[in-house]
Amino acid sequence: MPPPADIVKVAIEWPGAYPKLMEIDQKKPLSAIIKEVCDGWSLANHELFALQHADSSNFYITEKNRNEIKNGTILRLTTSPAQNAQQLHERIQSSSMDSKLEALKDLASLSRDVTFAQEFINLDGIFLLTQMVESGTERYQKLQKIMKPCFGDMLSFTLTAFVELMDHGIVSWDTFSVAFIKKIASFVNKSGMDTSILQRSLAILESMVLNSHDLYQKVAQEITIGQLIPHLQGTDQEIQTYTIAVINALFLKAPDERRQAGVDSSVDILDCPLTEMANILAQKQLRSIILTHVIRAQRAINNEMAHQLYVLQVLTFNLLEDRMMTKMDPQDQAQRDIIFELRRIAFDAEPEPNASSGSMEKRKSMYTRDYKKLGFINHVNPAMDFTQTPPGMLALDNMLYFAKQHQDAYIRIVLENSSREDKHECPFGRSSIELTKMLCEILKVGELPSETCNDFHPMFFTHDRSFEEFFCICIQLLNKTWKEMRATSEDFNKVMQVVKEQVMRALTTKPSSLDQFKSKLQNLSYTEILKIRQSERMNQEDFQSRPILELKEKIQPEILELIKQQRLNRLVEGTCFRKLNSRRRQDKFWYCRLSPNHKVLHYGDLEESPQGEVPHDSLQDKLPVADIKAVVTGKDCPHMKEKGALKQNKEVLELAFSILYDSNCQLNFIAPDKHEYCIWTDGLNALLGKDMLSDLTRNDLDTLLSMEIKLRLLDLENIQIPDAPPPIPKEPSNYDFVYDCN
């Protein structure tokens, strides 16, 4: 007979004594269980004790998390969180430097536990830590000179404890003084600072900016590009990552008017406050430093760095949103002058003096003719073409940039199309407007960065006006594709679809420069796109004849079983998941894998991302598959309902899933990418005996079915398969050909 569900068998340790094997009744109050354990070792004052996990996490057991205790868990009897917090609060104020250092080291470790953190914060522990950081007393200055390594460790542990305590979200960031901000900023601005101190200082500044508008303004006054550049030029990728994270945070929180500020060449970038984000990112120096020392450095870019570069790329392109959503005012003369300039460059028309009403009519007629040649939809008033948002004024900006910076190509495109009489002319104006809109969609201009995406493109860091150059390459591609397709105005949407496919296929190769992107497009001519489409159609050919459909129906269960086994095998290998919070912390990982017999899920926290598979015995927690009640995804996940900040992020929602078990328990996941999401949701559904419904399963099923059918039909190559089975022949007149073999 199986033991009751509320009884959990555990081992409990106590220093200097043999561990005890014990059955815990989850219906009993936790205080009664602790009293029972203390009585077993003759320990008085049970209220001063608590239970905690004996693994590397050392997390306290509370009424809230006690349901996480599983059979076979090893626990430790220890002093209560309140008692421990009180002792550490006193020890970190010790006059003995060795005692203080040891206490701060313990505090940095224990602060990861929210139960301990709450108790320490209740003692004004955060205030005490900030006072220690701010302290500029003679004793600290002497300590820094005489015992520099000791001071460095002490400060490092102090900042680590501060970061861990603040990560729990118990204390508001708005409570900190200017003196504290200045002190943290001084650690960043000072050269030769210890790596761990610099790392935590940058992390604190990032959190300050992201969590408080007032602190954003104060931090922005303390940090300049000149002080951050040396950290980008170093060789430590983690420091570079934290540095770019600070830039991203300041960029994200900058007021719109500062973010959109134009480039002022008189401003020295090294002394420029980070609030003037548009100025900074338009400057060649910062971009080239990131390109040289980060992107093109002789080392692989890790996931966190890739994410920060992706965020920087998105925020940079989001500067275009204002122009993208601005309609052209047909009455604004300055805006109309841009259209006049496009006409002048194309047709080399000299400004004409004011003339009589007769010549005025003639001039209007000439303008209308020229605007038609430029490919505008509204020939009389082309300003009306730019009243749709998106792309709004951004399209006109791109056209002017192309006309001025690539004048020969611009004139060639306009003149060669305006001189055609065979209805195959490519309308430059209309094409530019639709192309700008398409490029904004591809680059997701105006959308917030995803919490999980790492998809940055190195080529966008190689030019100060990368979006405009991107447009210039693509408009020439569009004109080339139009000619290759021998398109007319009726084929406009078809041409745009082909161009989008060409651009998307070239981007997936992650070209390292705009020139490389251009050469990739050269190889993706319309003829090549047709070949690729034909090849893909053949590979995924959907035979519709009845015999083939019947064969598919017969084979499909075998293929689905094959896919199911592959999914379960991947679950047995396991996956490393990242724990997301307000700041993307690099040390928050956990691993989950299925046991080889498919009966138990093993999971547990990790200190760092693993290089390979994590053994079952190193994962502390277990969840029997039989206990799983349901698997939910997206908005139905408990952790998506709780985290309002993540709810708005569509990409995170698309990667979220949860396992529901027992009464109110759940195991929450955010997959590293869409592929892993499909693998895990398919695998879990397969374990529960449900259908695998992911896009990946559909694609795998189509591919494998197509391959299997083609293999089975190899012998029938060039033979016409009839739609109906052949008729059954008439019975023979006699059966003399049948022989009895007995």
Q: What is the DSSP string of 398-422?
A: HHHHHHHHTHHHHHHHHHHHHT--S
Rg of the chain, C-alpha, whole Å: 34
In the prediction, which pLDDT does 635 show?
85
The C-alpha angle 558, 562, 567, rounded to 5 degrees, equals 145
As a whole number of angstroms, the distance between CA 445 and CA 395 comes to 13
As a whole number of angstroms, the distance between CA 102 and CA 81 comes to 18
CA 110 to chain centre: 30
Nearest to 418 by CA among 349, 343, 493, 485: 343
Can you read off the two tokens belonging to residue 113? Answer: 């536990």
In the prediction, which pLDDT does 342 show?
94
As a whole number of angstroms, the distance between CA 182 and CA 205 comes to 10
What are the residues whose beta carbons fall under 8 Å from the beta carbon of 696, sequence distance 6 or more? 674, 675, 678, 679, 682
| Strand partners of residue 696 | none
Amino acid at 374: L
In the prediction, which pLDDT does 252 show?
87
Q: H or E stretch including 303?
A: helix 303-317
Burial of residue 230 (CB within 10 Å: 0-12, 13-18, 19+) is middle
Range list of H helices, 444-599:
466-485, 492-508, 514-522, 526-539, 546-573
Sign, CA dihedral 185-186-187-191, equals: positive
Domains of the chain from N-terminus onward: 7-79 (3.10.20.90), 172-299 (no CATH), 325-350+360-537 (no CATH), 555-699 (2.30.29.30)
Full 3-state SS string of 423-471: CCCCCHHHHHHHHHHHHHHHCCCCCCCCCCCCCCCHHHHCCCCHHHHHH
In the prediction, which pLDDT does 262 show?
39
Name the maximum alpha-carbon separation found in the chain. Answer: 120
In three-state secondary structure terms, 283 is coil
Q: Kindly give the pairing relationship between strand 575-578 and strand 589-594.
A: antiparallel
As a whole number of angstroms, the distance between CA 137 and CA 132 comes to 10
In the prediction, which pLDDT does 610 show?
77
| Strand partners of residue 669 | 657
In the prediction, which pLDDT does 263 show?
37
Q: Kindly give the pairing relationship between strand 74-79 and strand 7-13.
A: parallel
In the prediction, which pLDDT does 420 show?
72
In the prediction, which pLDDT does 649 show?
64
Q: H or E stretch including 676?
A: helix 674-687
Can you read off the two tokens belonging to residue 503? Answer: 């651009």
As a whole number of angstroms, the distance between CA 261 and CA 444 comes to 21
Ranges of the chain with pLDDT below 70: 1-5, 136-151, 256-284, 349-358, 421-422, 537-545, 580-587, 642-650, 715-723, 738-742
pLDDT in tens, 624-655: 999 999 999 988 888 777 544 444 466 788 88
pLDDT in tens, 171-187: 999 888 899 999 999 99
pTM over 0.85: no
